[in-house]
Chain A
Amino acid sequence: DTGVSQDPRHKITKRGQNVTFRCDPISEHNRLYWYRQTLGQGPEFLTYFQNEAQLEKSRLLSDRFSAERPKGSFSTLEIQRTEQGDSAMYLCASSLGQGRYSSYNEQFFGPGTRLTVL
């Protein structure tokens, strides 16, 4: 499979628990993005990596959220002490970019991880 994959597809957790999501981008893509999508809204940017470097984080990404991309391959998004407001679809996308301010390259999205916090 050459597309972006995300695991798990669904996660139900209790408030206060920690959760971790994984994203595997298209293998040759050096950029990886995380977005959050709540019901009835479009995706909102959370953070982005170029290779292993996290170059930008949205103010939406509170201290309870952390993302990593060790070795510039897969990425993980961890949410600590989950709150009911964290319930959303978490989308990962990847693209092949040339540099921080290079021309846009198409983002390919994964199927998302739907998080429900009870």
Chain B
Amino acid sequence: AQSVTQLGSHVSVSEGALVLLRCNYSSSVPPYLFWYVQYPNQGLQLLLKYTTGATLVKGINGFEAEFKKSETSFHLTKPSAHMSDAAEYFCAVSANTNAGKSTFGDGTTLTVKP
């Protein structure tokens, strides 16, 4: 069984400030981990993913995340927030034994203040 917990349903930052969105997961097998972004009334867009190899992964729009097995975490960061980053962000976990089916967290809404 797999699960995802996103700490903080709402995060607010100022433009230019560091963005940190937290994600902890639970998985009985080696996980694949993902971050998606969703804008209003749209589908999900993949920001980045971790499957194997390097634990620090870089994604689109300047986002990156680090897989920490000992902490069962996969936090998403961006050094400098932009107004266009305001959206909802979902962390998800999958495994190579379940045909890519993903379990999602409840999401974090990011607000960027000017």
Contacts and interface: CB of A to CB of B under 8 A. Distances in A.
Partners in one complex: yes
B11 interface: no
Contact of A97 (B95, B100, B102, B104): B100
A54 to B, nearest CB: 12
Contact of A42 (B42, B46, B92, B99): B92
B36 to A, nearest CB: 8
**Interface size bracket, A side:** 20 to 34
12 contacts: A42-B90, A43-B44, A43-B90, A48-B99, A48-B101, A100-B99, A101-B97, A102-B99, A104-B100, A108-B46, A110-B43, A112-B42
Interface string B36-50: 100001111110010
B31 to A, nearest CB: 10
A105 B102 CA distance: 11
A85 interface: no
A95 B49 CA distance: 14
A75 to B, nearest CB: 15
A111 B100 contact: no
B90 A101 contact: no
Interface string A31-52: 1010000001111110010100
B96 to A, nearest CB: 5
Contacts of B43: 4, 91, 109-112
A104 to B, nearest CB: 5
A33 B94 CA distance: 13
Contacts of B100: 31, 33, 48, 95, 97, 104-105, 107
B99 A50 contact: yes
B44 A106 contact: no
Nearest to A45: B101
Contacts of B32: 104
Count chain A CB atoms within 10 A of each CB in B43, B101, B103, B107 and give the residue with the most: B43
A102 B32 CA distance: 13
